[in-house]
Every structure is written in structure tokens, then in C-alpha cells.
């Protein structure tokens, strides 16, 4: 396996970053996960726009997007696989312990992992912890993911694959690694970005392609929604058949099934030639 580090391809076994890299010591980093089908990245431009937005939000220098594109192409070429996930990690770099930011310039790593198609439906739980929609990191895709790790572990303990968060004012927000959509009276809704959720690339495409409304939704909407689904780069559109103890028999319901179909058809096209 070859990864991109320090401006070129390296063997994963010998690639090294500093133990004082600020991405490691304080989570001062950002990332993107990009689906790659037959060696072609899906919606790469949208991911790179978000990478730049996240960098600016964290006060990191803008990433060199030409280098990131070259890195993605080189890593995909060096590690052929039918369905993969590119992982772009960009951190503040390394510096002496206690320094505010690395003084050797940012670290860019691009790696590729395998992935498999997710089942058509899944179980989710809600967790009591909240997303802070007014926090400094709201909407940024940072490597400070520990809260998601904790929530996901709770989900796994309960036989679910995702945990959903509300925000500080009790509204539905997002999952640990996905956005959420609900059907109410036959209409499709998803929380607005102001809820503190990540501006998911799959979410944006699903909104564009289905006309879903962006609506403030109380967390308890999950107790009465006719259908619920998740969106993410690795799940695409995935129906939810259980929320906590509430079963949603027949998932995917008609609205979800239509969204899945539309996504399947349109995401086959090369969004990023
Ligand atoms: N929300 C969070 C917190 C995420 O980490 C992710 C993806 O990793 C998403 C939503 C979905 O975003 P995307 O569709 O761009 O993968």
C-alpha cells in the first residue's frame, strides 16, 4: 500500500509523521473521506471546497489543492481497487511540545482504504450528548472526532450502526458520520446547516436531487417520522429500520426508496471530470 506524504508516494510501512504532529497531540487537523469507484474519485471538487472551508475555520493555511489532486490521483493509481475510500488528512504539522501550532508547515497525508457497500437499511440510536451549533468547530470536518467515537461505541453496544445527536436547543442535528433525513406527512426534511450539522456532500446532493426541505426539527421527530434515512459518502442513502426501540417496518419506505434510486442513478455519472 502506497500513501502520499511529504510531497510524494511512500510505502505505508515506512511512512512516518512526527509524534509531535499537532493533528495527533491536540486534534488540530481536518480531513475528507472521498469515495473512489474504479479508481475515480466521486465529487472531488466538492470535497476539496469543504477541505478549504475547514482549513480556514481552523485557521490552517489553505491546502494546496493542486497537490491534493495530484496526491489523490497518484494514490489511486498505485493501489487499484474497485471500491475504495480516499482519506485526506491535513494537520497543523509538528512543533515543540506546548507550541500553538507546528512550525514546519502543515502535514498532508492521502491514503486509500477498501470499503464495501452498506446494507440497504440499518438501526440507529439517539445519544444524550449534544452537538454545539454555536461552537468554534460547528460544521468543520476536523480530526477532533473523539466524541463521535464514544457515541458510535454506544451505538454498537446496542446493535446499531449510527448514533444521532441533537443540538443544544433540542433539535435534531446529525449522526457521528452521516446526515439525517425524515419523512413527515409524506414530505422529506433534513436539519438546516444552522443546526450545527456538517455540510455533507451526500446531503447536499440529496437535497438538490429530491427537493428535500431544510427544516428545524425537534429531536422527538424521530418518534413519529414515517421514514428516516441517513446520507454519507460511505453509506450513500441508507434507510433506517430502527431508531432506539422504535421499529420502522418496511424500511426503505417509498420516499426513501425513491431517494436511493435517484442517488444510485445520478451518482453513477462523473460529477467531477
Ligand atoms: N456528518 C459528519 C459528522 C460526518 O463526519 C460526515 C462524513 O464523514 C457526514 C455528516 C456526511 O458527510 P458526507 O456526505 O460528505 O460524507
Pocket test residue of 51, 177, 191 for ligand 1, highest count of atoms within 8 A of CB = 177
User: Do residues 33 and 234 touch, judged by C-beta distance below 8 A?
Assistant: yes
Residue 2 main-chain phi, psi, to 5 deg: -105, 140
User: Do residues 259 and 181 touch, judged by C-beta distance below 8 A?
Assistant: yes
How many whole angstroms from 178 Cα to the centroid of ligand 1?
Answer: 5
How far apart CA 76 and CA 2 sit, in angstroms, is: 9
If asked whether residues 71 and 201 sit together in one domain, one would say no
How many whole angstroms from 176 Cα to the centroid of ligand 1?
Answer: 8
232 lines ligand 1 (CB under 6 A): yes
- pTM, two decimals, is 0.96
How many whole angstroms from 96 Cα to the centroid of ligand 1?
Answer: 32
190 lines ligand 1 (CB under 6 A): no
How far apart CA 53 and CA 227 sit, in angstroms, is: 32
Cis upstream peptide for 7 (omega within 30°): no
Would 272 be classed as within a structural domain?
Answer: no
Distances (CA, A) of 128 to 165, 166, 170, 222: 7, 8, 10, 14
How many whole angstroms from 62 Cα to the centroid of ligand 1?
Answer: 21
ipTM, two decimals: 0.99
Would 188 be classed as within a structural domain?
Answer: yes
Pocket test residue of 163, 230, 232, 267 for ligand 1, highest count of atoms within 8 A of CB = 232
How far apart CA 238 and CA 263 sit, in angstroms, is: 11
If asked whether residues 175 and 209 sit together in one domain, one would say yes
Provide the residue range defining the domain that includes 50.
1-112
Q: Which of 272, 150, 149 is nearest to 205 (CA)?
A: 272
How many whole angstroms from 63 Cα to the centroid of ligand 1?
Answer: 20
DSSP letter, residue 81: -
DSSP 13-64: TT----TTBHHHHT--EEEEEEEEETTEESSHHHHHHHHHHHHHHHTPPPP-
If asked whether residues 83 and 176 sit together in one domain, one would say no
203 lines ligand 1 (CB under 6 A): yes
Looking at the structure of the chain, the number of domains it has is 2
Which residue in the block uniquely carries the three cell numbers 501550532?
A: 101
CATH at 127? 3.20.10.10
pLDDT at 273: 47
pLDDT at 4: 98
| Final residue belonging to a domain, choices 97, 112, 127 | 112
If asked whether residues 52 and 171 sit together in one domain, one would say no
The neighbour count for residue 109, using CB atoms within 10 Å, is 22
pLDDT at 269: 62
198 lines ligand 1 (CB under 6 A): yes
DSSP 165-227: EEETTSBEEEESS-EEEEEETTEEEE--GGGT----HHHHHHHHHH--EE---BGGGGGT-SE
195 lines ligand 1 (CB under 6 A): no
If asked whether residues 148 and 194 sit together in one domain, one would say yes
- Beta pairing class for 213-214 and 107-114: unpaired
If asked whether residues 77 and 208 sit together in one domain, one would say no
User: Do residues 225 and 251 touch, judged by C-beta distance below 8 A?
Assistant: no
pLDDT tens digits in sequence order for the chain, 273 residues long: 999 999 999 999 999 999 999 999 999 999 999 999 999 999 999 999 999 999 999 999 999 999 999 999 999 999 999 999 999 999 999 988 878 777 788 999 999 998 888 899 999 999 999 999 999 999 999 999 999 999 999 999 999 999 999 999 999 999 999 999 999 999 999 999 999 999 999 999 999 999 999 999 999 999 999 999 999 999 999 999 999 999 999 999 999 999 999 999 988 666 664
Amino acid at each position: 500500500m502506497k500513501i502520499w506524504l511529504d510531497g510524494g508516494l511512500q510505502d505505508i510501512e515506512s511512512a512516518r509523521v512526527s509524534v509531535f504532529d499537532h493533528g495527533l497531540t491536540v486534534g488540530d487537523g481536518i480531513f475528507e473521506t472521498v469515495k473512489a469507484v474504479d479508481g475515480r474519485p466521486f465529487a472531488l471538487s466538492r470535497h476539496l471546497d469543504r477541505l478549504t472551508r475547514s482549513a480556514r475555520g481552523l485557521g490552517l493555511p489553505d491546502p494546496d489543492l493542486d497537490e491534493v489532486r495530484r496526491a489523490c490521483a497518484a494514490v489511486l493509481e498505485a493501489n487499484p481497487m474497485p471500491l475504495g475510500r480516499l482519506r485526506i488528512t491535513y494537520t497543523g504539522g509538528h512543533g515543540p511540545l506546548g507550541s500553538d501550532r507546528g512550525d514546519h508547515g502543515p502535514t498532508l497525508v492521502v491514503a486509500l482504504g477498501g470499503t464495501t457497500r452498506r446494507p440497504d437499511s440499518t438501526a440507529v440510536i439517539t445519544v444524550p450528548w449534544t452537538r454545539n451549533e454555536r461552537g468554534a468547530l460547528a460544521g468543520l470536518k476536523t480530526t477532533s472526532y473523539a466524541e463521535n467515537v464514544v457515541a458510535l461505541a454506544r451505538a454498537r453496544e446496542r446493535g446499531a450502526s449510527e448514533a444521532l445527536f441533537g443540538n443544544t436547543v433540542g433539535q435534531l442535528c446529525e449522526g457521528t458520520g452521516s446526515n439525517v433525513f425524515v419523512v413527515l406527512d409524506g414530505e422529506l426534511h433534513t436539519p438546516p446547516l444552522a443546526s450545527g450539522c456538517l455540510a455533507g456532500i451526500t446531503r447536499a446532493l440529496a437535497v438538490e436531487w429530491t427537493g428535500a426541505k431544510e427544516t428545524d426539527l425537534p429531536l422527538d421527530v424521530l418518534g413519529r417520522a414515517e421514514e428516516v434515512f441517513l446520507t454519507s459518502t460511505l453509506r450513500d442513502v441508507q434507510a433506517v429500520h430502527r431508531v432506539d426501540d422504535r421499529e420502522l417496518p418496511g424500511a426503505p419506505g417509498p420516499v426513501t426508496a425513491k431517494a436511493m434510486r435517484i442517488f444510485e442513478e445520478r451518482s453513477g455519472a462523473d460529477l467531477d471530470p
